[in-house]
């Protein structure tokens, strides 16, 4: 046998196995035919040479993954390298995330409703792929919480015992209930002032929290008596001035951002005019409002105001001409839009109908064949076994002859519901034609296919199928085959069909395999 004969037989093998003529499939078929013919080809033995260079653990893993080509071998090695060499940054980030989650879980069980709720939301944030903006928002919420958290409510317990602001448990244990008859404690006016002051220092416009402001807020919250200190008074004034400066800077940045956007939009807004009659009137109203607008003495606001007024004036001058032009073509646009919408609906219906059986709403024969080809590709590449189960309703013709074709349609629809209900989400079921149905069971051997077929068969046998007050007795015959014991997809389907015929020959209402 020469090399040309081996090539011819390799192509013939691919045709019999139902495989596409791709480089990987061809190389596999060529090596098999060359081996049968006794030819020693270096390219066919490369994979085995590389395999022998690996340790025994890797060799066993290669067998488990059914590596058959050099390309698959390369993908296997790349995936192993990616898994065994994680970067230091990834490990550090994962450790920090786990640590943060544990801290939040501790905070969640503490005796504070606001902190627990914020901790739960933060845990949810860490459990998904949050954006930097979301993470920064939650960081700000935690800063706001710590700067406004008020423990002065514990001071009301002083008459009942020692108050330990660092331990709620100790405070409760130190309570002396005999002192409950004493007069109520005097209000802590200084504490209330301190609480209001701390709340006023929380940023309003500026999103960033300044460390200096956070520090003075913490000091006042812990010891309200510091408000009587002149040195602290100076710090408070400085913090207030700093907060005002931060807010002004934030406003300035926002206005500059708006100013930049207006520069870009001013070149395009003239072309983007509404086609309604009211567009000119609306723009005239905008112009009048802008004329009466006062920038408040802020330079950036004044610049933005002038640019908006210029845009409104230009829109007013161009609206009338463009509106006439738009009206001229509005009817044509409307008709074209309706036609496009109609075509889209028809296309969607055609797509849905192309894979759905009109009566049972299951997949039709065309869709079933597509899914079987997908399962065949998974088996060829990854060794994933699957089973094919044929179902045929027994004596279905007599149902049509006795009760009419409407009753037959009702029976087919009822069986389809049973079949779909018993199937898993990963299984594919459909109507193959007439009263014949197919189930494609992923990663299922012939024993599993028999179990599934018997479940469906028993459901059908015990079902109360009623049509116009007449109960229709119904049974189903089943044939099962699995892919790994057959040469090709076509042989698997043929074997299942032959097993179904065998079930019919052996008395119906039974499951047979081949």
What would the two tokens of residue 144 be? 């706001």
Cβ 460 vs Cβ 492: under 8 Å: no
* pLDDT at residue number 295: 47
What average pLDDT does range 330-344 have in this prediction?
79
String of DSSP letters for 155-192: GGGGGGS---TT-HHHHHHT--GGGGGSPPPPP-HHHH
* pLDDT at residue number 120: 84
In this structure, of 62-66, 85-89, 149-153, 506-510, the range with the lowest mean pLDDT score is 85-89
Question: Distance (Å, rounded) from C-alpha 411 to C-alpha 338?
Answer: 40
Cβ 220 vs Cβ 191: under 8 Å: no
What would the two tokens of residue 356 be? 């759905």
Question: Distance (Å, rounded) from C-alpha 432 to C-alpha 427?
Answer: 15
Residues annotated catalytic, as ranges: 435
Residue 31: CB atoms within 10 A of its CB come to 21
* pLDDT at residue number 432: 93
* pLDDT at residue number 486: 94
CA dihedral defined by 112, 115, 118, 119, rounded to 10 degrees?
-100
| % of residues, the chain, pLDDT over 90 | 27
Domain 365-513 has CATH 3.30.70.270: yes
Q: Of the candidates 393, 399, 396, which has an alpha carbon nearest to the alpha carbon of residue 416?
A: 393
Q: Of the candidates 205, 189, 282, 274, which has an alpha carbon nearest to the alpha carbon of residue 243?
A: 205
Residue-averaged pLDDT of the chain:
78
Q: Is the pLDDT of residue 216 over 80?
A: no
Question: Distance (Å, rounded) from C-alpha 508 to C-alpha 505?
Answer: 7
Ramachandran bin of 41, using left for φ above 0, alpha for ψ from -120 to 50, beta for the remaining angles: beta
Q: Is the pLDDT of residue 152 over 80?
A: no
* pLDDT at residue number 189: 65
Cβ 409 vs Cβ 344: under 8 Å: no
String of DSSP letters for 345-358: HHHHHHHHHHTB-T
Q: Is the pLDDT of residue 436 over 90?
A: yes
Q: Is the pLDDT of residue 33 over 90?
A: no
* Alpha helices, H only, 54-128: 56-64, 70-84, 88-108, 113-126
* pLDDT at residue number 272: 52
What average pLDDT does range 279-297 have in this prediction?
55
Question: Distance (Å, rounded) from C-alpha 163 to C-alpha 101?
Answer: 31
Q: Which residues of 452-486 are buried (b: 16+ CB within 10 A; e: fewer)?
A: bbeebbebbeebebebeeeebebebbbbbbbbeeb
186: pLDDT confidence band, cut at 50, 70 and 90?
A: very low
What would the two tokens of residue 27 be? 């190389």
428: pLDDT confidence band, cut at 50, 70 and 90?
A: very high
Q: Name the residue ranges covered by the structural domains of the chain.
A: 155-265, 278-333, 365-513
Cβ 379 vs Cβ 436: under 8 Å: no
Q: Is the pLDDT of residue 157 over 70?
A: no
What's the pLDDT tens digit per position in 74-108?
A: 877 877 776 655 555 566 667 777 778 778 777 77
Strands 436-442 and 428-433: antiparallel
Q: Of the candidates 489, 373, 356, which has an alpha carbon nearest to the alpha carbon of residue 430?
A: 356
Question: Distance (Å, rounded) from C-alpha 314 to C-alpha 302?
Answer: 19
Distance from CA of residue 299 to its chain's centroid? 47
Contacts of residue 325, Cβ cutoff 8 Å, sequence gap at least 6: none
297: pLDDT confidence band, cut at 50, 70 and 90?
A: very low
What would the two tokens of residue 137 be? 């928002």
Angle, CA 247 vertex, CA 242 and CA 248 arms, to 5°: 95
Question: Distance (Å, rounded) from C-alpha 117 to C-alpha 415?
Answer: 50
Whether the pTM exceeds 0.85: the reply is no
Residue with tokens 């299922």: 444
String of DSSP letters for 28-54: HHHHHHHHHHT---HHHHHHHHHHHHS
């Amino acid at each position: 046998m020469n090399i040309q004969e081996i090539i011819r037989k390799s192509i013939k093998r691919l045709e019999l196995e139902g495989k596409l003529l791709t480089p990987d499939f061809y190389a596999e078929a060529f090596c098999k035919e060359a081996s049968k013919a006794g030819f020693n080809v270096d390219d066919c033995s490369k994979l085995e040479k590389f395999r022998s260079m690996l340790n025994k653990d890797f060799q066993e893993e290669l067998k488990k993954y059914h590596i058959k080509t050099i390309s698959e071998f390369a993908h296997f090695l790349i995936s192993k390298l990616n898994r065994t060499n994680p970067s230091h940054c990834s490990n550090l980030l994962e450790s920090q995330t786990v640590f943060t989650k544990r801290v939040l879980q501790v905070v969640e069980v503490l005796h504070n409703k606001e902190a627990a709720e914020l901790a739960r939301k933060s845990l949810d944030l860490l459990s998904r792929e949050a954006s930097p903006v979301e993470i920064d928002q939650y960081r700000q919420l935690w800063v706001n919480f710590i700067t406004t958290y008020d423990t002065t409510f514990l001071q009301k317990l002083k008459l009942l015992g020692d108050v330990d602001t660092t331990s709620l448990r100790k405070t409760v244990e130190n309570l002396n209930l005999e002192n409950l008859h004493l007069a109520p404690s005097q209000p802590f006016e200084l504490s209330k002032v301190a609480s209001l002051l701390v709340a006023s220092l929380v940023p309003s416009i500026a999103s960033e929290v300044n460390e200096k402001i956070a520090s003075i807020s913490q000091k006042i919250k812990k010891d309200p008596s510091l408000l009587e200190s002149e040195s602290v008074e100076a710090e408070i004034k400085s913090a207030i001035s700093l907060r005002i400066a931060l807010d002004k800077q934030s406003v300035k940045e926002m206005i500059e951002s708006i100013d930049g956007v207006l520069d870009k939009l001013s070149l395009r807004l003239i072309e983007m005019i509404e086609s309604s009659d009211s567009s000119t009137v609306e723009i005239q109203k905008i112009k009048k409002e802008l004329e009466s607008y006062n920038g408040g003495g802020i330079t950036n606001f004044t610049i933005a105001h002038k640019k908006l007024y210029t845009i409104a004036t230009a829109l007013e001058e161009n609206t009338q001409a463009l509106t006439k032009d738009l009206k001229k073509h509005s009817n044509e646009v409307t008709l074209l839009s309706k036609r496009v919408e109609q075509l889209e609906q028809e296309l969607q219906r055609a797509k849905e109908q192309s894979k759905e059986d009109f009566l049972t709403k299951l997949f039709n024969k065309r869709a079933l064949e597509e899914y079987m080809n997908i399962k065949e590709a998974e088996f060829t590449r990854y060794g994933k076994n699957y089973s094919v189960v044929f179902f045929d309703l027994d004596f279905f013709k007599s149902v049509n002859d006795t009760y009419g074709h409407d009753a037959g349609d009702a029976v087919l629809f009822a069986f389809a519901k049973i079949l779909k209900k018993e199937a898993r989400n990963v299984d594919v079921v459909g109507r193959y034609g007439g009263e014949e149905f197919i189930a494609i069971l992923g990663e299922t051997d012939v024993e599993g296919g028999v179990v599934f077929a018997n479940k469906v068969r028993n459901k059908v046998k015990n079902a109360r199928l009623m049509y116009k007050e007449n109960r229709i007795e119904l049974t189903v015959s089943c044939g099962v085959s699995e892919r790994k014991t057959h040469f090709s997809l076509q042989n698997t389907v043929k074997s299942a069909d032959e097993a179904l015929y065998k079930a019919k020959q052996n008395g119906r209402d039974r499951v047979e395999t081949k």
